Amino acid sequence: MTRNWLVSVELPSSYWFYAVERAAEVCNYFPYKLEDGSYTTPFELVHATKPDLQNLFKLFALAAVQCERVNSENIGKFDGQSLPMITIGKCPNSNGFLFYNPVNQTFVSSIDYQFQHHVTSSTCFNL
């Protein structure tokens, strides 16, 4: 699963950790059959609640993330209000996603984003 994600978006192996981490999360959503004939998931067995399917998203998708400032400088009124970033997972501290900006190698957590489905992240950043 990890290898397929990296190849499909044409990213280098430096993103391997995020792909393995996400593969483990997704595998916990796979259903399997119990001895009594019912179906469940590992997530449901541990947390005693059904998994939230909104947590399933396309890994390494390119997203336009709204930013208020870049490098501690406020963005002007007529400047672009978003930056392209790579989606690498769910943020552990909020309900948003965790994004990576390869230009300045920073991580951003945000709930204000728009996925760009027409272009891959590797072509946007020449990776």
**Alpha carbon 52 to its chain's center:** 15
Across 2-6, 10-14, 72-76, least confident range: 72-76
Strand partners, 86: 62, 100
Range of the domain at 40: 2-125
Split at pLDDT 50, 70, 90, the class of 39 is: very high
pLDDT at 79: 61
* pTM, full prediction: 0.75
CA distance 83 to 9: 19
Q: Say how many domains are in the chain.
A: 1
- Summarised one tens digit per residue, pLDDT across range 6-31 is 888 888 888 889 889 888 888 888 89
